[in-house]
Structure 1
C-alpha cells in the first residue's frame, strides 16, 4: 500500500481480508460436513486414512495454501520484516476467530467453546478445545496490531535473545498442548483431557515476552542528534 495510507485504513483492509478469507474457509468446511455426512459436525474419532481416500492430501494442501495466503498479506503490507510478521499475525488471528464465528452461523458448529476441534494436520493432528485457538488468535491480533502500528510510525521495537527464547518456548508449549494426544487420535480414539496447564504456561511465556518488548520499545522515532524532542 502507499506509504501515506493511514494505519487505520490499512488495518481495516487487512482485517476485512481476514474476515472474508474466514468465510470462504467456513463455507468449504460446511460443504465438506454435508458431503461426508458428519452429523452435527462430529470430528472424532477420525475416519481411517483409507476411508478418506484422496481427501486427506487435499486437506493438508488446503492448510498449506492457507498459510501461504496469510504470509503473502504480511509480506505485501509490511515495510520491514518485523512489520510483515506482525501483519501476518493479525491476519492469522482474525482469520481463525472469524472462521469459528462464520462456521457457527453456517452450520451451528461448534456448539460451545469447549468443543474439541482438529486444528491442523501438519505434521501431526493438532487437537484442542475451540477456546484455546481463539485465545491464541486474540493475542496475535492484539500484539500484531500494536507492533505494526509502532513500527509504521517509526518507533523502535527491539527483540533480544531473551525475548526470542521466551517467545519460541511459549509457542512450542502451546503446540505441545495440541499435539500430546496425536497418537491416540491417529489410532482412532477420542482426544483425552486437554492439558490446560501446559497451554497456560506457554501463553504466559509468550505474552510476557511480547509485553516486555512493547514496554521497552520507543513509541516515537528517535530525535536527531543535537536536537530535542520539542524542536
Structure 2
C-alpha cells in the first residue's frame, strides 16, 4: 500500500468515526428536545409560538446550545492532523449532527412532517427561524465540502482560502445567518413568521460553495 493510499484510508476512518459520533450525539440532542417539548409544548409544537414569561430553563437551554457548539468544534480537533484537516472534520461533524438531529426527531415524534415545516433553529444570540430544508441544505454542504477538504489535505494535498475565498465564505455565512434571524423577532412576539427569505439564503449558499 502506498503512503498516499494509507493516508486516504486513515482519513476515511477518521471521517467515519466523526460521522458516527455526530449521529449518536444527534440522538442525544433530539432526546433533549423531546423532553423540552413535553415541558413547553405539551399540545404539540407549532407556530405561532405562545409568548412565555422568562423561565430559568430557557437560560439552561441557551447554555446547552453553547456547549453543543463547543463539543462539535472540539471533536474535529481531537483526532489530530493539520489545520484544514481538523477544521474539515468539524464541518463534517456539524453537518452530520444537524441532519441526523432532524432524522431522530422524526423517528421519535414523527416531526417534522415535511422539510417545509418551520422550526426554531437556534437561540444564540437571538431566535433563528426557518424551514427544516434550509439548515439541512447547509449541513449537506458542510459534510460534502468538509469531507472533500479533509481527504485532499490528509492525502498530502494542499487546501487553502485566499482573500477571495475568505471573503466569499464570510459573505455567504452572513447572508445565511441573516436569512435565519430575519423572522426571529416576529416569532418571539408570538406572531406567525412571514415568508422565509429564500433568495437571501440561496445567495449565501452559492457564495459559500463558490468559496470552496
TM over 0.5: yes
Q: Structure 1: which 5+ runs fail to align?
A: 211-231
Structure 2: runs of 5+ lacking an equivalent: 1-5
Question: Do structure 1's residue 21 and structure 2's residue 25 form an aligned pair?
Answer: yes
User: Equivalences for 1:51-70 in 2 at 5 Å?
Assistant: 53-70=55-72
Partner of 2:171: 169
Q: Contact 2:51 / 2:188 at 8 angstroms: preserved in 1?
A: no
Q: In the TM superposition, what is the alpha-carbon distance from 1:48 to its structure 2 partner?
A: 2.1
Partner of 2:43: 39
The answer to which of 39-48 and 84-93 deviates more is: 39-48
Q: Secondary structure at the match of 1:118?
A: strand
**Cα separation, 1, equivalents of 2:206 and 2:163:** 18
What are the within-5 Å matches in structure 2 for residues 82-121 of structure 1? 82-121=84-123
- Compare relative contact order (CA 8 Å, sep 6+) and give the higher one, 1 or 2: 2
With 130-139 and 71-80 compared, the bigger mean Cα shift is at 71-80
User: Is the contact made by 2:51 and 2:189 (CA closer than 8 Å) also made in structure 1?
Assistant: no
- Matched position secondary structure for 1:6: helix
Name the SS of the counterpart of 1:188 in structure 2.
coil
Task: For residue 81 of structure 2, give the secondary structure of its aligned residue in structure 1.
Answer: coil
Shift of 1:158: 2.2
Q: Which residue of 1 aligns with 2:203?
A: 201
2:81 to 73, 79, 82: 79
Deviation of the 1:75 alpha carbon: 1.4
Aligned length: 206
For residues 65 and 151 of structure 1, the distance between their equivalents in structure 2, rounded to whole angstroms, comes to 28
CA-CA distance at 1:144 after TM superposition:
0.3
How far has the Cα of 1:77 moved from its partner?
A: 2.1
**Matched position secondary structure for 1:123:** coil
Give the 3-state SS of the residue equivalent to 1:114 in structure 2.
Answer: coil
Which secondary structure does the structure 1 equivalent of 2:130 belong to? strand
Aligned match for 2:15, one of 11, 14, 33: 11
TM (norm. structure 2) is 0.92
Change (3 A) 1:49 1:79: farther
Give, in whole Å, the separation in 2 of the partners of 1:61 and 1:43.
Answer: 24
Aligned-pair Cα RMSD in Å = 1.6
Q: Is the 8 A contact 2:18 2:76 kept in 1?
A: no
**How many Å separate the matches in 1 of 2:124 and 2:207?**
24
Of 124, 127, 144, 1:125 maps to 127
Is the CA contact (8 Å cut-off) linking 2:12 and 2:151 kept in structure 1? no
In the alignment, the residues of structure 2 paired with residue 89 and residue 56 of structure 1 have an alpha-carbon distance, to the nearest angstrom, of 27
Q: Is the 8 A contact 1:78 1:87 kept in 2?
A: no
Note the C-alpha offset of 1:43. 5.3
Partners of 1:56 and 1:49 in 2: how far apart?
10
